[in-house]
Amino acid sequence: MDDVVVRAMQRWPNVPDVFGWLRLDRRGHWLLRTGPDGQVQFERIGNAALNDFISRNYQSDARGRWYFQNGPQRVFVALDGAPWVFRLDDAGRDWLAHTGVPAGAVRALLFDETDTAWLLADLGLGCVLDRDLATLLAALRGKDGQPLEADHLVATLRAGGAEHVELRGVPVLVEAVSEADLTRRFGFDPIPGP
């Protein structure tokens, strides 16, 4: 957390929380509410410095609600997917969160009924940025070290099964999950309220 934020929290400890004004979309963009009451709209925040400030001060509370600590005020974030959006770094090897923080080791790859891919990494649960999905799938190997047969993997997952695979030499569990079950299973609140 930024020093300026910590100092503001100490100076004004009882500022009310804000809900319904900030969203994180599935591409890792911060969206700010812009429409008047009754015509709620969200627009992507284009200012790089503001995006970086939000990203540096993004965290969760004990109830699984994610927020941006804006000085003394918590601005809770509605999540279009999960708390994190993961993308490959520029070298195409390691996973980074939308905040620029390394995701860490990948432990599981989940697919929901809409074929959205979710990574469970040291950092937590995040949806895979769509542009990196093909690279991710191409990197999966079976127990024999051979590339996975996509049709076999899809059939296994649709039947409710799971598959143990390797992602760049690291064992990873691939399984099907219901998108509705993600919040319960991984303990986050996608639409936080007071």
Q: How many structural domains compose the chain?
A: 2
State both tokens at 140. Answer: 């999966």
Residues 57 and 91 in one domain: no
Q: pLDDT per residue over 82-99, tens digit each?
A: 999 999 999 988 999 999
Q: In what order do the strands lie in the sheet with 58-60?
A: 42-44, 30-33, 18-24, 73-79, 66-70, 58-60
Residues 89 and 139 in one domain: yes
Percent of all residues in the chain with a pLDDT value above 90, rounded to a whole number: 70
Mean pLDDT of 142-160: 85
What DSSP line would sit under 104-158, residue for residue? --EEEEEE-TT--EEEEETTEEEEEPGGGHHHHHHHEE-TTSSBP-HHHHHHHHH
Whether residue 194 lies inside any domain: the answer is no
* Listed residues 63, 79, 95: the one ending a domain: 79
Predicted confidence (pLDDT) at residue 164 exceeds the cutoff of 80: yes
Name which of 36-40, 61-65, 76-80, 165-169 the model is least confident about: 36-40
pLDDT of res. 6: 62
Residue found by looking up tokens 């860490």 in the block:
104
Residues 27 and 108 in one domain: no
Residues 96 and 174 in one domain: yes
pLDDT of res. 159: 87
Residues 120 and 90 in one domain: yes
Residues 47 and 100 in one domain: no
Residues 38 and 121 in one domain: no
Residues 43 and 103 in one domain: no
Residues 120 and 94 in one domain: yes
CATH of the domain at 36: 3.10.540
**At 8, is the pLDDT very low, low, confident or very high (cuts 50, 70, 90)?**
low
| C-alpha neighbours within 13 Å on the C-beta side of residue 78 | 13
Q: pLDDT per residue over 96-119, tens digit each?
A: 999 999 999 999 999 998 889 999
Amino acid at 179: E
119 touches 86 (CB < 8 A): yes
pLDDT of res. 9: 56
Q: Strand 84-88 vs strand 124-128: parallel, antiparallel, or unpaired?
A: parallel
Count CB atoms within 10 A of the CB of residue 122: 11
Q: In what order do the strands lie in the sheet with 84-88?
A: 95-97, 84-88, 124-128, 117-121, 106-111, 170-176, 162-167, 140-141
* Listed residues 79, 110, 143: the one ending a domain: 79
pLDDT of res. 152: 82
**At 143, is the pLDDT very low, low, confident or very high (cuts 50, 70, 90)?**
confident
Residues 75 and 111 in one domain: no
| C-alpha neighbours within 13 Å on the C-beta side of residue 26 | 11
Average pLDDT of the residues of the chain: 91
- Bigger pLDDT: 79 or 180? 79
Residues 15 and 90 in one domain: no
Mean pLDDT of 163-167: 92
Q: Which domain holds residue 96?
A: 84-186
Percent of all residues in the chain with a pLDDT value above 70, rounded to a whole number: 94
Whether residue 192 lies inside any domain: the answer is no
Residues 72 and 133 in one domain: no
* Listed residues 79, 110, 137: the one ending a domain: 79
**At 5, is the pLDDT very low, low, confident or very high (cuts 50, 70, 90)?**
low
pLDDT of res. 97: 98
